[in-house]
Amino acid sequence: MISRRCFITGCFGLVAGFWWPQVAFTQDKPASQRQEGAGLPSAEGMSRTTPWDTIQWVERRYKIEAVRFKARDETGIDWLGSDEVIIQTNDAKGSTVSNEIGDIDSGDTHSFDPAISCVVAVRPGVAVLGESSVCEEIGEPAPMFFRVEFWEKDFFLPAGFCIPTTPRPGEHGGPHCANDGTGDDFIGNARIDYSTQELEAALPNVGNDLIETVALDPCPGEICAGFPDYTFTWRITRLPDAQVNLGVLANEAMQRTGARSELEAIAAGLRALRAPNPKKIKPDTAR
């Protein structure tokens, strides 16, 4: 297996091969004769001369599926009625959304069929969590993240005005909005991040899985709906490794971002990296 460290070293080696002669030539000139940036290759020029398709490596792949949620305490006063719940998940390639899950009272648990409840590595197109959200067999590489958000539907106002966007090629989205803007109550949300090192340690072999649970934050900022208490449980599974071609990835990134070259697309991806958030999760032993 070619490690990611080897790949990164190879990329910098290629860059150095193009860049170093230019730097050496520039340094031979007196400072008064040099212009800022003179002698340095452009991103477009380096992209045209770099054999991106020959840069390949093998990486580990994973998928994440919803397992269940529990209402430890529903919204509002328990005896006034039940919660009608809609769930939305987001990852790097789009979103999924559930249909309304009704009659949820304090202490109730709702289970998902993981085979149709994919959260990360969702097949492109329209995805309904718990009904038609299916994972692609190839999965996704680490690092990865997802965000989950719960809303309680209200019916005091006419139908909502939220119009969901059509998924772009290679991405996924739901057929409706979790919050349609007509007074729905916010239940809670959470963002989960997994680093490469974390997943490699937790899931060393193909077929390994891990079930974890997070308590949703009911009041991020000033949004609050009577301090509900919900948990969300998911399963992450290691899939077979995949061979990756940098040229293919770079071309896909150029189409999505409008980058003018492979190097610009790679640079945009590096700039978008963010430090993972601490996770308030715990292993789930209920099988």
Asked if 87 and 101 touch (Cβ cutoff 8 Å), the reply is yes
Q: For residue range 28-73, what is the model confidence (pLDDT) as tens digits?
A: 445 444 455 555 566 566 666 677 667 777 899 999 999 999 999 9
- Neighbouring C-beta atoms of residue 25, cutoff 10 Å: 11
Q: For residue range 98-157, what is the model confidence (pLDDT) as tens digits?
A: 999 999 999 999 999 999 999 999 999 999 999 999 999 999 999 999 999 999 987 654
* Percentage of residues of the chain with pLDDT beyond 70: 67
Q: Is the pLDDT of residue 161 over 70?
A: no
- Across the range 78-86, mean pLDDT stands at 85
User: Which residues touch 270 (CB under 8 Å, ≥6 apart)?
Assistant: none
Do residue 110 and residue 158 come from a single domain? yes
Do residue 35 and residue 143 come from a single domain? no
Do residue 82 and residue 191 come from a single domain? yes
Do residue 174 and residue 207 come from a single domain? yes
Do residue 70 and residue 212 come from a single domain? yes
Do residue 222 and residue 104 come from a single domain? yes
DSSP string, 19-78: HHHHHHHHHTS-GGG--TTTTPPPHHHHHHHS-GGG-EEEEEEEEEEEEEEEEEE-SS-G
Domain around 48: 4-58+243-271
pLDDT (0 to 100) of residue 281: 63
Do residue 69 and residue 192 come from a single domain? yes
Do residue 158 and residue 254 come from a single domain? no
Q: What is the CATH number of the domain that holds 90?
A: 2.60.40.150
Do residue 162 and residue 208 come from a single domain? yes
- Across the range 236-265, mean pLDDT stands at 78
Q: Tell me how many domains the chain contains.
A: 2
Do residue 52 and residue 126 come from a single domain? no
Do residue 78 and residue 205 come from a single domain? yes
Do residue 68 and residue 46 come from a single domain? no
